[in-house]
Amino acid sequence: MSAETKLPAIDRSHDISQPLEKLHPNERLKDQSNYLRGTIEQSLAAPLTGSVTSDDTKLMKFHGIYQQDDRDLREERRRQKLEPAYQFMVRVRLAGGVCSPRQWLKIDELSELYGGATLRMTTRQTFQFHGILKPNLRNTIQGLNEVLLDTIAACGDDTRGVMCSVNPHLSALHAEVYDLARRTSNRVIPKTRAYHEIWLNGEKVAASDADTPPEDPIYGRTYLPRKFKFGFVIPPVNDIDVYAQDVGLIAIAEGEKLLGFNLSVGGGMGNTDNAPETFPRLGDVVGYFPKEKLFDIAVATATIQRDYGDRVDRMHARFKYTIEDRGTDWFKAELASRVGFPLEEARPFEFTSNGDTYGWVQGSDGMWHFTMFIENGRIRNTPQRPLKTALRELALVHKGELRLTPNQNLIVANVSEAEKPHIADMLAAYGLDSSIHVSALRLNSMACVALPTCGLAMAESERYLPTLVTKVERILADHGLQDVPITMRMTGCPNGCARPYIAEIGFTGRAPGKYNFYLGGGFHGQRLNRLYLENVGEARILEELGKIIAHFAKDRHDKEHFGDFVIRAGYVRAVTGGNDFNS
C-alpha cells in the first residue's frame, strides 16, 4: 500500500478540490515534496553556493530554518559581483518559552559557535539564532537535539510556536497549563521523519512524544494553507495577546484548579499596505470546553483550517479570513460535527494587563521568580553590558528553569528561599535587576527583528526603537507622565511580528526612516489601533506625540490609559472589527 492510500480521508470539497495546478504554487511544492524532504539534502551538499534552492528555502521553513542574507552587506557584495552573504535563521520550538539551565547553556554555546555570538528571544517566547552558515546547520540542530530541543514546525504552513502565559503568581495552574501547551505542540507538529533523516542522520527526535509514521495523520501531503498559531493564556494577564492568536485558549480555573478553556478563534496581525482586503483581526471567543477535550479541539480546529482555508491566495489564507468569511456560527457547527459535542457558553474571565510584572514575585508554592527586562529580546555582550555572559553565569548556578516571556523578557523561575540571596546578588552584580530604573514606556515597548536579517523589512525596528523611546520618554517626563505605562510597538514592515496593531502606539515600517503611525490599541490587548498618520518620519512622529501627550497630561481621567484617551479625545475612532481596520 502506498503512503498516500494510508492517509485519512481529507475533505477536499473546498479549494483543495481543485486541481493542484489551480492552487497556489506552494501547494504543489508541498504535495510533491515527499513529506517535506524536497531536495534539501542536495542543497546542503552543493559546495559552490551558501544558499539552497528556492523550493528548498520554502520547505526548510517547516524544519524551523529560514534562508536570509546580511542586508547590511547586500549593496557592497552586489558591487563586488559576489552572491549575497547567505546565512540562516534557526528558530527553536520551545512551547511556552520554558527551558532548563542546561538547555540555555547549550543554546548559548551554539550561538557562540555558529550564530555570531548573539541570540534573539522572540515575541512568541522562543530563541532565534541568526547568521548560521549552511555548513553549520546540521551541527546546530544536532546540538539542540543533545538537550532534547528541536526546530520542527517553528516556521512553515503548520501549527507552530505554541505560546503560554508565564504568570508566576499561580504556580500549580501555570504548571498544568504549560504542560498542556507543551503536549499540544507535540501533538500537532507534522509527523514526517524528514527532520530526523536530514538533520539528525535518522535519529528519533528526543523531545517528540509521538511515533513518527512516514505520512502525516493530521495534515496529509499539503499541510496547512498557511501558518497556524496556538496560544494559552491564564487570566488576568493577557501577556500572550490571546486575541492575536489563530487559536486562543483562555484558562478557566477555580483558584489554582484548571477546569477548562474558553476558545478564541480567528486572530492574526498580518496586513499588507494598500491592500484593504487584508487586515489584522482579533479573535472571537466562541465558547467553553472542559480541559479533557483539549487535544480533540486542537486537532479539529487545525483540520477545519486544513480543509477550508484558502489554498489559492496566500494573502487570504490565514484562519482569520476563514472565520471572517464564514462566521463563528459556521465554525461552531463544524467543530461540533468533528468533535462530537457542542461548545458550552463561554465562562466569565477578566484581563487587567498584557505586560510582565518585573522584579521578584513569590508563587503560591513559596518559590520565587525574577522577571528581568531584556530590551527587544536581544542577548549579546556589549562593552557597557556583558548580558550574554551574565546569563550564562546565572544558568550555571540556577537550579529552577528559565522562562521566555511573550514580551521578549526573561524570568529566572523557581528559585527557592535558600537560593534567592545568591541569585539576587548575581543579578545585582551584573546589573540585571535594572528594570527598576527603566521607564514605564520602555518596559512596555517591543520591536521585531527587522534589519539587517529580515528579508521583508522596509525600515529599522529593533535597532531604532530604543532611540525613539528615549525621545518619547523626554516628552512624557516633561509632563510628569514618566510612570504611566503605555504600550508602544514597532515593526519593520506591516506583517506585524511584534503585534503592533494592538499597541496603544504602533509603528510599521514603510521605507527607510518612514513609518505608518497607529494610535488607540487597548492596553490589555483587547482592541486594535487605527492608522493615524501614513508614511511619516521621526520629526513628525515626535511633533504629533508631543501635542497628544500634552493634551493627555491635561485632560486625562483618573487612571485612563493612553489608548482609551486618544479615542475619547477624537484623535482616532475605535476599531470595532477586522474589516473596520481599513475603513
Find the binder of ligand SF4 among 218, 493, 519, 567 (CB under 6 A): 493
160: annotated active-site residue? yes
373 — alpha (psi -120 to 50), left (phi > 0) or beta?
Answer: beta
Spatial distance between the Cα atoms of 58 and 40, rounded to a whole number of angstroms? 10
Spatial distance between the Cα atoms of 272 and 575, rounded to a whole number of angstroms? 17
Residue 161 contact among ligand SF4, ligand SRM, none, beta carbon within 5 to 8 Å by kind:
ligand SRM
Spatial distance between the Cα atoms of 342 and 76, rounded to a whole number of angstroms? 60
Closer to ligand SF4 by Cβ: residue 259 or 456: 456
Locate the DSSP E strands across 246-307: 247-254, 257-265, 284-290
128 binds ligand SRM (CB under 6 A): yes
Q: Do residues 228 and 299 touch, judged by C-beta distance below 8 A?
A: no
* Stretch near ligand SRM under the rule CB under 6 A, chosen from 96-104, 122-130, 328-336, 353-361: 122-130
122 binds ligand SF4 (CB under 6 A): no
155 binds ligand SF4 (CB under 6 A): no
* Strands laid side by side in the 378-379 sheet: 65-69, 86-91, 127-132, 119-121, 378-379
Find the binder of ligand SRM among 131, 270, 563, 578 (CB under 6 A): 270
Q: Residue 425, class by beta-carbon neighbours within 10 Å (0-12 exposed, 13-18 middle, 19+ buried)?
A: exposed
247 binds ligand SRM (CB under 6 A): no
Instruction: Please list every residue from 463 through 492 that binds ligand SF4, using CB under 6 A.
Output: 491-492
Find the binder of ligand SRM among 453, 508, 516, 529 (CB under 6 A): 453
Which of these is catalytic: 448, 510, 514, 527?
448
Helix (H) and strand (E) counts in the chain = 17, 20
Which residues, including other chains, have CB under 8 Å from residue 452's CB and lie 6 or more apart? 70, 71, 72, 73
The cell numbers describing 544, all together, are: 504629533
Which of these is catalytic: 493, 514, 527, 556?
493
Buried b (16+ CB within 10 A) or exposed e, 336-355: eeebeeebeebeebebebbb
Q: What letter represents residue 496's amino acid? A: G
493: annotated active-site residue? yes
376 binds ligand SF4 (CB under 6 A): no
CB of 535 to ligand SRM, least distance (A): 20
Which of these is catalytic: 30, 58, 91, 556?
91
454: annotated active-site residue? yes
* Stretch near ligand SRM under the rule CB under 6 A, chosen from 268-276, 302-310, 384-392, 557-565: 268-276
Spatial distance between the Cα atoms of 387 and 392, rounded to a whole number of angstroms? 9
Residue 268 contact among ligand SRM, ligand SF4, none, beta carbon within 5 to 8 Å by kind:
ligand SRM
164: annotated active-site residue? no
Residue 302, CB half-sphere, CA atoms under 13 Å: how many? 25
Residue 566 contact among ligand SF4, ligand SRM, none, beta carbon within 5 to 8 Å by kind:
none
Which of these is catalytic: 58, 226, 229, 556?
229
**Which residues are designated catalytic?**
91, 160, 227, 229, 448, 454, 493, 497
Contact residues toward ligand SRM (CB under 6 A) are 66, 68, 89, 91, 122-124, 126, 128, 161, 227, 229, 244, 268-270, 318, 448-449, 453-456, 495-499
